[in-house]
């Protein structure tokens, strides 16, 4: 039988895009609001699909350090072109900032409030600091502080990000639990010694999407949403 | 007549020790709680007096980068000796963390809540991140995020700290206002192009203390407390 370590988790660090906020639904709604003549869900997926390759360009050194606002804009220019849409520059800049006003999942704010009673809560996202500050204000999300890849000049899943968060919190990695809807993020955190909580967000890529595969028992906790996670953690 | 710049302040950054929290009263109370046979107010003043020289040791390179927890502990060892007090190591470590649980001034939480309606609120303190996270949790202070000298590997009043905060917020320095009870902190912020708000905390060093001298009109705003500042800013 698996022997769990004594329960000494002091802080929870959260992936944001897809885990705390609904980028797919928020961007599709913005496409509709702007009256763009294209499929909003498809547009959201195409924009998001450029994200990992863009970060890889930074990681490989092909691109100098560029924050997520900058990467989102590079991708947006291409996606608009692919969808046959032309917008004035001021509209493009405003559209790019939709990532600063993504709506949280319905359980996010209430679940975080419950978890905050027992744990330090920090974001730990590849989003830049100003984007994350705008998101927590927009969603009234009760984080204690905002941690971003920008503070470490490394993008997840580079270990510098997970270990940097533990260091700033003055905690051992095992006292920090990464909360994410993405197994790859959690595996990278676990490799750095962090605990892991997998929160299922089946609608991240739109209704009827599939979850990334993971093994049963692979993570310390598996939850349906943040309120379920709070219940499991005894909150 | 002095022509004020158009009002384009987007974020407020706050000094913490003395401006948001009452280190003197909190440490004097801890000395009493621990039953130490010395003057608690004097002890607080002596501990705090070691702070600027210790940061100067880091700034000059005499000491490698050491966070405030580490500097506080070095000073504590000396102050205990000077007060003729001997404590076991575990008590020393716990006592050193009194800086993580300083009480806010009575207006701090309510004033911040009012200011938060219009402005992004961040700490901007020489305290390390984990200390500041503990302080905002202890005082239920509604900051949007925690910025610390630790993120920039420079202590205030080095310009890297003020400019680093503006950069992380993706704002021009003139869109950020430093809020502090210390004219020296505000002058350094103004030299970097930030706006300034001086909040008077006459009891910072105990009842009947004097304020540091400043010139009339030297700062963009001068307030009696955070609620007064919110009123002046139209909140």
Radius of gyration of chain B (CA): 18
In the numeric block, the tokens 């219940």 are attached to A231
d(CA A137, CA B37): 47
Q: Which residues pair with A104 in a beta bridge?
A: A21
| B113 interfacial to chain A (CB closer than 8 Å) | no
d(CA A198, CA A183): 7
pLDDT at position B1 is 39
* All residues at 6 or more sequence positions from B216 whose CB lies less than 8 Å from its CB, including other chains: none
Sort B144 into a burial class: Cβ within 10 Å, 0-12 / 13-18 / 19+: buried
Nearest CA in chain A to B128: A168
Count the Cβ atoms, other than its own, within 10 Å of residue B223.
Answer: 20
According to CATH, the topology of domain A23-100 is DNA polymerase; domain 1 (1.10.150)
Domain B11-22+103-232 CATH assignment equals 3.40.50.300: no
pLDDT at position A216 is 86
How much of chain B, in percent, has pLDDT values that exceed 90? 91
Domain A11-22+102-232 CATH assignment equals 3.40.50.1000: yes
In the numeric block, the tokens 């503006």 are attached to B166
pLDDT at position B208 is 82
| Pairwise CB contact (< 8 Å): B145 & A150 | no
Q: Is the pTM of this model over 0.90?
A: yes
How much of chain A, in percent, has pLDDT values that exceed 70? 97
Q: Which residues pair with B22 in a beta bridge?
A: none
Q: In the predicted model, is pLDDT for residue A6 greater than 70?
A: no
pLDDT at position B235 is 59
Looking only at the bridges linking them, the beta strands covering B145-148 and B120-125 are parallel
Looking only at the bridges linking them, the beta strands covering B145-148 and B176-180 are unpaired
Rounded (5°) CA angle A56-A62-A67: 60
The pair phi, psi for residue B220, each rounded to 5°, is: -65, -40
| A175 interfacial to chain B (CB closer than 8 Å) | no
pLDDT at position A128 is 95
d(CA B103, CA B137): 11
Range with the poorest average pLDDT among A163-167, A180-184, B173-177, B231-235: B231-235
Query: Who among A137, A144, A169 is closest to B120 (CB)?
Result: A137
Instruction: Give pLDDT tens digits for A135-170.
Output: 999 999 999 999 999 999 999 999 999 999 999 999
A143 touches A186 (CB < 8 A) = no
Q: In the predicted model, is pLDDT for residue A196 greater than 80?
A: yes
Question: What residue ranges of chain A are covered by domains with CATH 1.10.150.240?
Answer: 23-100
Question: What residue ranges of chain B are covered by domains with CATH 3.40.50.1000?
Answer: 11-22+103-232
What ipTM was predicted for this assembly?
0.93
Mean pLDDT of B109-128: 98
């Amino acid at each position: 039988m698996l022997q769990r370590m004594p329960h000494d988790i002091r802080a929870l660090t959260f992936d944001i895009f897809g885990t705390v906020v609904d980028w797919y639904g928020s961007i599709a709604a913005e496409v509709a609001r702007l009256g763009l003549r294209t499929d909003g869900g498809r547009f959201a997926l195409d924009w998001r699909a450029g994200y990992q390759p863009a970060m890889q360009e930074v990681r490989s050194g092909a691109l100098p350090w560029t924050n997520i606002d900058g990467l989102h804009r590079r991708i947006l220019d291409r996606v608009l072109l692919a969808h046959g849409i032309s917008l004035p520059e001021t509209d493009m800049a405003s559209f790019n900032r939709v990532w600063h006003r993504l709506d949280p999942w319905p359980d996010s704010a209430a679940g975080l409030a419950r978890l905050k009673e027992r744990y330090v809560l920090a974001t730990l996202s590849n989003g830049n600091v100003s984007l994350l500050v705008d998101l927590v204000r927009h969603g009234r999300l009760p984080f204690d502080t905002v941690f971003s890849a920008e503070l470490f000049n490394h993008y997840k899943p580079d270990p510098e990000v997970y270990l940097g968060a533990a260091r700033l919190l003055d905690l051992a990695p095992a006292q920090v639990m990464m909360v994410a809807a993405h197994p790859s993020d959690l595996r990278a955190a676990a490799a750095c010694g962090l605990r892991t909580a997998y929160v299922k967000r089946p609608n991240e890529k739109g209704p009827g999407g599939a979850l990334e595969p993971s093994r049963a028992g692979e993570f310390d906790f598996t939850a349906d949403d943040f309120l379920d996670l709070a219940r499991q953690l005894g909150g």
